[in-house]
Structure formats: C-alpha cells, structure tokens
Amino acid sequence: MFLSITLLLVAALSGLAVVRELRKKNFFAVGFAAISFLVFGWFSVMTIISIITTGQGAPV
C-alpha cells in the first residue's frame, strides 16, 4: 500500500509540474512532466487495483 501511495504522490506532483511549466511556456519540461504523470499515474492505479483484487501489491 505504501508503494501505491508514493506513486500517487509522485503523479500528483508531476501533474502540478505540468501546469506550472505550461504557465512558463517551457514545453520541453512539459513533455517530461506529462510523461512522468502518465507513467506514475498508471502504475499507481494498477497497483491499487492489484491490491483490491488480489490482496497483494505485486502480481502473483
């Protein structure tokens, strides 16, 4: 559960970075922040789903 919360926190911070860098019009940083947001968000959601369905954080 700690892993999913940590990944969700990183995804949220990456989402804030996307907004901040869009305001600065730094599109190179927007790209990296958006990719980070998508990857960490995906892994956090999939980890939470795995915990709910199997009762474990990692696939068996």
DSSP codes, 1-60: -HHHHHHHHHHHHHHHHHHHHHHHT-HHHHHHHHHHHHHHHHHHHHHHHHHHHHSSSS--
pLDDT digits (tens, 9 = 90+) for 8-53: 999 999 999 999 999 999 999 999 999 999 999 999 999 888 888 8
Instruction: Please report the pLDDT score of residue 57 as a whole number.
Output: 62
